[in-house]
Structure 1
Amino acid sequence: MHLSQGLFLLSALGVAFAASSTHEVKESVNPPRGWTLHSVAPAHHNIELKIGLPQPNFPILEKHLYEVSDPFHERYGQHLTKEEVEALVAPHQESVDLVSEWLATHDIRESDIQRSPARDWVTIKVPVRLAEKMLDTTYHVWVHDASGDSLVRTTSYSLPKHLHEHVDVIQPTTMFSRWKAHKSTIHDVSPAPASLTGPNAKIDASCNSTITISCLQQLYNVGNYTPSADVGNSIGITGYLEQFANRDDLQTFYAEQRPDAVGTTFNFVSVNGGLNNQSADAAGVEANLDVQFAFGLSFPINSTFFSTGGRPPFIPDIGTPEDTNEPYTEWLDFILAQENPPLAISTSYGDDEQTVPENFARRACAGFAQLGARGVSLMFSSGDGGVGDGDDNPATQTCLTNDGKNQTKFIPGFPASCPFVTAVGGTEFIEPEIAVFFSGGGFSNFFARPAYQDEAVKKFLDTLPPGTFEGLFNPNGRAIPDVAAQGERFRVFLAGEAISVAGTSASSPAFTGIVALLNDVRLKAGKPPLGFLNPLLYTIPEGFNDITIGNNPGCGTEGFTAIPGWDAVTGLGTPNFGKLKDLVVGY
């Protein structure tokens, strides 16, 4: 080859590489409502970038999920193994190679990369200055007006053109979710009345003012059912944002409400450096609520509390670099890598769906689908804003969209809006049990209504007078909640004192405790665990106490109304364990 030919070839290759490396916008969002631009992000601030590679075979996994979750399908209960699920979500090798080559151009070696077991997520830790170069963007510090929380985010990022089809999502970039506990701030924490019920008492009027384990057992027809500790059953609670479950408080709770459990405790698992601070002043209301009622209801089933480290807010005037990431993605990564995750897991955290970029919401939802296919039941609280946004006071909700149009819309919550999880709304009182006003409910703007709830939701929509809430919600979206449970006046022990707590953050662990008992029924009968619940639940509405009183106001409206059958306030209703245990063992 002549020198001139070689120079021409090298020049051509350089032009070709430059053309293939031309950045084009991958994602762009409008500046988020309720957040104020504070400053340019410090160049040395560390970011843990998570790069999601496409999952080309996810539709096949979804097909498997619905087959093993459909009680009328011959494969019902034949859950997939961890390895089978990972094979179905693995990216094409071309995507792995091209993303690796791109990272190498920025001096990021294989030893700097963490890969998920399925190789569909790539995680790297880089300073802001490198992230900005890689993504052709500028990061800023944004401050949340109402809370003062700060995040390092951008409203747009780009990738080389040839990578667009090989990357689904990169975060943290455009996600402004605050991932807060679903706990009512109106009826939040107050001194609790003296308990009038004991572990063997009949349901009585005291349960209108104080919810205890006994109240839930009687109200949901648990009776004297005794689960086993040795049939392979398990239940889990997720904890975030330095919410610590206090073991001494659990013992105090057990002594009063579950004396047969005194002296026992939960397994503790640290995720992403999550701590286990057992000092009394570090005890968390949310964590204590969750473990006391979920584990109290399901005792002696094997129980685990996951403490996940990481907190998105960043303090801009501190010079020490900190990681900026959404902590629940850390938990999802961790739990997907486990061989034997708990069979029923409750999460009482979330945020408005519109604060989560749709491509990221879909990837997180796909992670929940993987767990469901493996036989795990996932419960998420539906939120405490009624049909409105995260403001718990219906009178002050703005309910404006984040798409730059500032339209008034009902605001669903995520992850409750994911069709692969069971969303739990809230109720209160007994005889009759009614919808609590803050019960989050509505329709997703990201996810279409799944087939399993078509019939029930269509019946509900048909009851709405023509023009009701026209333009305020997406009638074709995934509808929430699926079910409900008590959400007011839970008697919780915190730092040795009894307090009263409310929110759908109470409803989710309560319902999860019932699910753990139902798994016990199936396991004792030699059957597999329930796994992804929704396709089954919508076929057995007779297993629920239908809630027909109440509504969930928000956005300047009265919200939806609880009616016979499914509704967008309490879903199918609250569980009747006595009926459900006979129904679930029949499949």
Structure 2
Amino acid sequence: MRFSPSIVALAILVTSAVASPISRSDFVIHEKRHSVPRLWTRGEKLDSSVVIPVRIALTQSNLESGYQFLEDVSHPSSKNYGKHWTPKEVIDKFKPSRETVTAVRTWLEEEGISRSRIRLSPGRNWLEFNATVGEAERLLRAEYHVYEHDQSGQPHVACTEYSVPAHVRRHIDFVTPTLHFDAKIKPRDANRLPRRGVVPAVKPGTGHDIGLTDGWKPKLGQDVNVQSLKPNLTACATATTLDCLRALYKFKGFRDGHKLAKGNSYGIVEYTPQAYVPSDLDEFMTKFRPGAVGVRPILDSIDGGVVQQESKSFGLNGESDLDLEYAIGLVYPQPVTLYQVGDLVEGASFNNFLDGIDGTYCGGDDPTQDGVYPDPYNVTGAYEGPEDCGTFAPTKVISTSYGYNEADLTPAYEMRQCNEYMKLGMMGVTVLYSSGDYGVAGNSGQCIDPTTGAYNNGTSGLFNPGFPATCPYVTAVGATQTKANANLAHLPAGTQPETACETVIYSGGGFSNVFPLPAYQAPAVTSWFKNNNVPYGADRFNNSGTTRGFPDVAANGANYVIAIDGKFSLVFGTSASSPTFGSIITLINDKLLSAGKPTVGFINPALYAHPDVLNDVVEGGNRGCGTPGFTAVKGWDPVTGLGTPDYGKMLKMFEGLAHGGYGGGYGN
């Protein structure tokens, strides 16, 4: 993993081992934050008697070979392509060693944390115990403070650095609560937390809309009179519908009576209190997919996830309505599974979702970032059942339209979560994330001050990449839009009707400050640096050429017509692009499964090896941070990736790979 010098000066780093200045010489700094995230202010030191839940993420076995395992079943040149692993095979390969568990447990006991207080998670990958702040500070040679969000008043517990013994360090990924800051994709009820002496994670009365980070929330446009929409595809530049997407990406979808392949549901992830409105779903289908009127997604309620209908607004219903109207509309009669995560009190995070579909991941949830279940505070309406831990099976395709700034969290935390997506890929699951809506900037247009490392108002500074889009084991989806003069009803062969999205939103893209460049992407990124006059240096982005670039692909993200709260409106965002791209993968999987072939699984190696199955986008940019951002060019670019899907070409490629060979493309 390499960083440009300017990034090293400000990024949140997993530091190299150096002697701790705090205490014993055999302790070394494990993680250190060089600056406080924008809009957070450090307050008073936390009282030493307050109890906090300490979670230690144990180093897993064989992760150094994880990429090779994934590529072995995902790269088109591999003889094992499509031979996905079983969940048990994945568990056995990566569980922490007995040596690791013993080394960390022994250290804790030597520091006065008795064995009876320590719990090993079911997957053997977390050690958990409650400790007073005083105990945690002595254990980690750290100092805890209360931080407060300048706008919402949300309090948070954190330290700026912590240390562990040198001989134990290799056995620990990270510890919580320490450097991580709440990404606010879930609500909290602060009133119940002081009962246990834990600092609350959200101030009451701040409004429901904070449940979804603004950078990934679809943007609302004008209302639409759907009765006036022309049915002949001539208005797709200003009103994107199901028919427009089918014309753009050359697929018809399935007829109502289509015989379904078994085991092929399309997973959409939502976080309470975001929820779809059933009447909106029916209103949309009545207009655009009559056969699906009355159809509902299969509800997998993780940790008390509820499709709440008490409060309605675009902020609460826009994301879910958009995702499900288009997912169901495009894949029907294929089923869609809704992973609704978190109750109305605790809320949820990406970790809670991953817990729900993989029991080995459970055990490390932190109340300052994740929902903790069963609810320990006896709040009326809270989910009192056990934490969902491997309760639900992952669907073959999972699309998520939520995200963080990469700089919100530490690299250790992000790497551990990214490795979980790697495991899902090994099991044949395609994981898609939207790339963000502020171009090269982060949520709400935030950029990074090159001196302090803090976020600024987005008019200058370093580009701010998004996570999990920068994880090399997910497929990051950027946004395009239909050209103003494109008539999809009479589109000449070879015509590219799309540009990078520059209406209301800008396709998120750039280069990671955390994740190294994966081998499958290296030729494309190397070519981009070589063949394009990049107008920025290390003063703007990680230009080392050795880190992960994103997005991987793109799909239309502008002027989507959705039914929302009883009316039709236009919405914009990569929040639309990801579920659209995932719908096409779901349709391809149906064809493969019906023919007795494996699902496509992790698609990035195949797409980078055969980019000709995508429509290259060569116009538009993704401005941000006071710059024009990057520009869409021939081949891969950090605006629209490899391009938009061509269903027929992609299907032919994946069918060929499943047979053991595909002659198209020019490979890598």
Q: TM-score range by the shorter chain?
A: 0.7 to 0.9
Structure-2 residue corresponding to 1:457 = 525
Q: Is contact 1:460–1:566 with CA below 8 Å preserved after alignment?
A: yes
Structure-2 residue corresponding to 1:8 = none
Matches within 5 A, 1:408-557: 408-430=461-483, 431=486, 432-437=497-502, 438-465=506-533, 468-474=536-542, 475-557=545-627
1:471 shift after superposition: 3.9
Q: Is contact 2:555–2:577 with CA below 8 Å preserved after alignment?
A: yes
Select 1:279's aligned residue among 304, 310, 327: 310
Structure-1 residue corresponding to 2:492 = none
Q: Is contact 1:400–1:408 with CA below 8 Å preserved after alignment?
A: yes
Superposed CA offset, 1:422-442 (max 9, x none): 000011124231101310111
Structure-2 residue corresponding to 1:317 = none
Structure-2 residue corresponding to 1:210 = 239
Moved more, 356-365 or 301-310: 301-310
- The reply to whether residue 51 of structure 1 matches residue 56 of structure 2 is yes
Select 1:336's aligned residue among 358, 362, 372: 358
Moved more, 445-454 or 46-55: 46-55
Superposed CA offset, 1:520-543 (max 9, x none): 121122111111110011122222
- The reply to whether residue 302 of structure 1 matches residue 351 of structure 2 is no
Matches within 5 A, 1:175-254: 175-176=180-181, 178=183, 180=185, 181=212, 188-195=219-226, 201-205=231-235, 207-226=236-255, 228-240=259-271, 242-254=273-285
Q: Secondary structure of 2:522's partner?
A: helix
Q: Distance in 2 between matches of 1:264 and 1:122?
A: 43
1:304 shift after superposition: 1.5
The one-letter code of the counterpart of 1:433 is: E
Q: Distance in 1 between matches of 2:479 and 2:46?
A: 40
Superposed CA offset, 1:391-418 (max 9, x none): 33xxxx5432587599932221111001
Structure-1 residue corresponding to 2:362 = none
C-alpha spacing 1:401/1:168, structure 2 compared with 1 (3 Å): farther
Q: Distance in 2 between matches of 1:578 and 1:423?
A: 21
1:89 shift after superposition: 1.1
Structure-1 residue corresponding to 2:30 = 26
Q: Report the TM-score, using the length of structure 1 for normalisation.
A: 0.86
- The reply to whether residue 165 of structure 1 matches residue 170 of structure 2 is yes
Q: Distance in 2 between matches of 1:36 and 1:327?
A: 23
C-alpha spacing 1:49/1:239, structure 2 compared with 1 (3 Å): farther
Q: Is contact 1:548–1:564 with CA below 8 Å preserved after alignment?
A: yes
Q: Is contact 2:465–2:512 with CA below 8 Å preserved after alignment?
A: yes
C-alpha spacing 1:152/1:78, structure 2 compared with 1 (3 Å): same
Q: Distance in 1 between matches of 2:336 and 2:394?
A: 11
- The reply to whether residue 575 of structure 1 matches residue 575 of structure 2 is no
Structure-2 residue corresponding to 1:399 = 448
Q: Secondary structure of 1:410's partner?
A: coil
Matches within 5 A, 1:371-410: 371-392=424-445, 397-401=446-450, 404=453, 408-410=461-463
Q: Secondary structure of 2:631's partner?
A: coil
Q: Distance in 1 between matches of 2:537 and 2:136?
A: 43
Q: Distance in 1 between matches of 2:410 and 2:179?
A: 7
- The reply to whether residue 362 of structure 1 matches residue 415 of structure 2 is yes
Q: Distance in 2 between matches of 1:56 and 1:402?
A: 38
Structure-1 residue corresponding to 2:85 = 80
C-alpha spacing 1:110/1:531, structure 2 compared with 1 (3 Å): farther
Q: Distance in 2 between matches of 1:575 and 1:196?
A: 29
Q: Which runs of 5+ in 2 are unaligned?
A: 1-22, 186-211, 360-389, 487-496, 658-668
Q: Is contact 2:214–2:443 with CA below 8 Å preserved after alignment?
A: no
The one-letter code of the counterpart of 1:233 is: N
Q: Distance in 2 between matches of 1:182 and 1:331?
A: 17
Q: Distance in 1 between matches of 2:153 and 2:322?
A: 26
Moved more, 23-32 or 397-406: 397-406
Q: Is contact 1:182–1:381 with CA below 8 Å preserved after alignment?
A: no
Q: Is contact 2:450–2:539 with CA below 8 Å preserved after alignment?
A: no
1:582 shift after superposition: 1.7
Q: Distance in 1 between matches of 2:280 and 2:107?
A: 51
Q: Distance in 2 between matches of 1:454 and 1:185?
A: 27
Select 2:301's aligned residue among 263, 270, 278: 270
- The reply to whether residue 67 of structure 1 matches residue 72 of structure 2 is yes
Moved more, 487-496 or 545-554: 487-496
List 4+ stretches of structure 1 deviating above 6 A.
19-22, 42-46
1:145 shift after superposition: 3.4
Q: Is contact 1:190–1:499 with CA below 8 Å preserved after alignment?
A: yes
Q: Secondary structure of 1:190's partner?
A: strand
1:197 shift after superposition: 8.8
Aligned length: 551
C-alpha spacing 1:147/1:208, structure 2 compared with 1 (3 Å): farther
Moved more, 217-226 or 86-95: 217-226
The one-letter code of the counterpart of 1:458 is: T
Structure-2 residue corresponding to 1:346 = 399
The one-letter code of the counterpart of 1:542 is: D
Superposed CA offset, 1:191-240 (max 9, x none): 43122699x954222x2222222221221111254564342112111112
Moved more, 518-527 or 29-38: 29-38
Q: Distance in 2 between matches of 1:297 and 1:47?
A: 46
Q: Distance in 2 between matches of 1:502 and 1:48?
A: 40
Superposed CA offset, 1:16-41 (max 9, x none): xxx99965432221232412113344
Q: Is contact 1:213–1:297 with CA below 8 Å preserved after alignment?
A: yes
The one-letter code of the counterpart of 1:419 is: P
Moved more, 188-197 or 428-437: 188-197
Q: Is contact 1:156–1:173 with CA below 8 Å preserved after alignment?
A: yes
Q: Is contact 1:179–1:350 with CA below 8 Å preserved after alignment?
A: no
C-alpha spacing 1:246/1:152, structure 2 compared with 1 (3 Å): farther
The one-letter code of the counterpart of 1:538 is: Y
Moved more, 476-485 or 177-186: 177-186
Q: Secondary structure of 1:80's partner?
A: coil
Structure-2 residue corresponding to 1:3 = none
Superposed CA offset, 1:436-466 (max 9, x none): 1310111111112112122222222223226
Q: Distance in 2 between matches of 1:102 and 1:383?
A: 42
